[in-house]
Structure 1
Amino acid sequence: MKRINPLFFFGIISFTISSCNISGKTDNGNIEVDSLRIVSLNGTVSEILCDAGLEKQLVGVDVSSTYPISLKEVPKVGHNKKIPIEAVLALNPNLIIGTKEVPTETVEQFRQAGMRVILVDQEYSINGSRNMIKSITDSLKLKVKGDSILKRFDQDIQLVQAFEAENPKPKVLFIYARGTGTMMVGGNNTQVAKMIQLAGGLNVAKDFEEYKPLTPESLVNYNPDVILLFSSGLSSLGDKNGFMEVQGVKQTRAGKEGKIINMDGQLLSGFSPRLPNAIKELHTKIHE
């Protein structure tokens, strides 16, 4: 690996920004956009950077960075909570952008190596998406681009905001799956629970927080109208036919009526600039 000369980065300040305000100081105004070599540690961050015209500046992304599809060709650097430091530094970046979910020790190692680091809050709400777009584009002095993204976002979100108030609300159960050995039910305070609400559904698993293991008994007791999975999760179970063989599924209303639906994981849970599209797609699938 090429050794990094600390003097090259002398005077560059690492800083953290929240979705509401910026702390610290940046000298990004002295760096041409074309000279940026960015590693993104979050799929939604990557989407915003691409929307802002910085896709060519991405030299590495985390595994959740699946959109646009062209990011498939960009080197992957692991998951945002488990980032291999050496692999990132080997890409010779001059800017690392992620969310505050990146472990503190990882951030400190990047800073000790002379890297500039931008961390943003990620709140899973409509305003949270707006704030994230603004925080990233403002920090890179791309306000015009940011305003354009936000204008389009606000126009699109107006078309879907009424879904949340619709009645009746179908009862939806989200199952996170990675094969039959890993199946978890999504409860309160999850990204998908918020998405179900925005799309005019009711998250039926509201008796616990976050995630817990799926059991046949709980599946039957919840008796959802619709069962929702990530597309990758459903595929890991052998698609719809394979999932129907999971114990308890056929005893639910969703199983009896074949209401097993799936969506791309990053689209469904990323709260990215594509949030209006995600709400519309989920609304259509749970109500059709």
Structure 2
Amino acid sequence: MRRTPAVLVAAALALGLASCAAPAPATQQELTKVDACPQASEPLASLDLVDDVRTATGVSTACLSSHAIEPVADEAAPVLPVTVTDSEGRDVEISDVDRILPIDISGTIASTVFALGLGDQVVGRDSSTQFAGTEDLPVVTKTGHTLNAEAILELAPTVILTDTTIGPKEVRQQLRDAGIAVVVISGDRRLDTTDELVTEIAAALGVPSRGEALIERLDADLDASLAEIAEVAPASVEDRARMLFLYVRGSANVYYIFGEDSGADSLIDAVGGVDVAGEIGWQGMKPMTAEALVAAQPDVLVMMTDGLESVGGIDGLLERIPAIAQTPAGANRRVIEMADSEILSFGPRSAEVIDAIARALYAPDSATAESAK
């Protein structure tokens, strides 16, 4: 698999989110609702599979079986102080992990810290961190994904874990100048970079053995999910769903296609789909064009939930982007949507994310399918 420059996804997300209000913090009621995902724990092969993934109809919601992050069993105490070289080449000494602030554009760093069993030490969050146990944490990002130095300093974190998907960099420097250990983690977000992500974070927090235990569990979970998907995916490439990741923010008139090396292609490959953006040579993320949509001829559009809602659902999408009607996906009103805070959150939930998308693809009735939308 290819590695993804984080700036590609970050730029697209920031462009849309900067023009929109930050997502409202998830309530416990909302999280409980997400946990109630129909048949999410049943084996994929045992569900009511569609005869042909290319001709299925309607909107399906990919949802996770649980909105909680399970910590590793390893409870080894942090060994501190520790000095790490971060992704920007800075040597950073961390001597205290009692007050951890993990912040990035996707909530991945925070979910990793919780998976390492250090969730009780987390003092704040970004607006994308919306899993169980984070509801009451103060949000330190404004206008979606901009660091609020004043809010961060009020929390008095002893260590900040972040990456270049969130900024501005001047604020990161301001926090360093205030004496806070700021570790910039690699921003690569793909299925094949999860182990490196865990290793970096575990090292910075002085819990390398917990990191090793988490990697072992995540690799096993991912292998199991991929094997389950392989059982139901069509053997012939010609019979596989042609899929396209469409990033939309209707209120800001932002319409992007995510192609090769965007991270979205990693998800499509994993669920046994064909990344049609790659077929037409679409690199990274670029503004959508009608010509590209018609050339790609997707059977299925993959979107973020808030993005689809921002254009008024499938009806609004077809009205705003008439070219979609000239594709099989448009003719069948076929969209798989997933929560913004989950769909690109590579990390501890990678296996669950691809499993959820696979269920929405191969067994839409087991997901929250709304064919009448």
TM-score normalised over the length of structure 1? 0.82
Task: Indicate how the Cα distance of structure 1 residues 83 and 185 shifts in structure 2: closer, same or farther if over 3 A, else same.
Answer: same
After superposition, the C-alpha distances for 1:201-239 in whole angstroms (9 at most, x for unaligned) are 122122232222223343233220101101111111222
Q: Distance in 2 between matches of 1:236 and 1:72?
A: 24
Task: Indicate how the Cα distance of structure 1 residues 234 and 167 shifts in structure 2: closer, same or farther if over 3 A, else same.
Answer: same
Match of 1:77 among 140, 149, 163: 140
Write out the 4+ residue segments of structure 1 that deviate beyond 6 Å after TM superposition.
none
Gaps of 5+ in 1: 1-11
Structure 2 counterpart of 1:116: 181
Structure 1 counterpart of 2:223: 158
Match of 2:250 among 172, 175, 179: 179
Q: Distance in 1 between matches of 2:178 and 2:348?
A: 32
Does the CA-based 8 Å contact 1:14-1:116 persist in structure 2? Answer: no
Q: Distance in 1 between matches of 2:338 and 2:219?
A: 23
TM-score normalised over the length of structure 2? 0.65
CA drift of 1:119 comes to 1.5
Structure 2 counterpart of 1:8: none
After superposition, the C-alpha distances for 1:78-131 in whole angstroms (9 at most, x for unaligned) are 279631222211222121111244554332221111111112113233331011
Structure 1 counterpart of 2:272: 200
Does the CA-based 8 Å contact 2:123-2:137 persist in structure 1? Answer: yes
Gaps of 5+ in 2: 1-80, 364-373
CA drift of 1:23 comes to 6.5
After superposition, the C-alpha distances for 1:23-69 in whole angstroms (9 at most, x for unaligned) are 735353xx4x5xx2222212101001111222222222112212x23
**Count of matched residue pairs:** 269
Q: Distance in 1 between matches of 2:101 and 2:83?
A: 14
2:188 aligned with 1:142: no
Structure 2 counterpart of 1:17: 86
Which of 134-143 and 238-247 deviates more? 238-247
Counterpart amino acid of 2:177? Q
Counterpart amino acid of 2:211? G
**Percent of paired sites with the same residue:** 27
Does the CA-based 8 Å contact 1:122-1:129 persist in structure 2? Answer: no
What does residue range 1-288 of structure 1 map to in structure 2 within 5 Å? 16-18=85-87, 24=91, 26-28=93-95, 31=96, 33=97, 36-42=98-104, 43-66=107-130, 68-78=131-141, 82-102=146-166, 103-162=168-227, 163=229, 167-168=236-237, 169-179=240-250, 181-206=253-278, 207-246=281-320, 247-288=322-363
Q: Distance in 1 between matches of 2:362 and 2:295?
A: 22
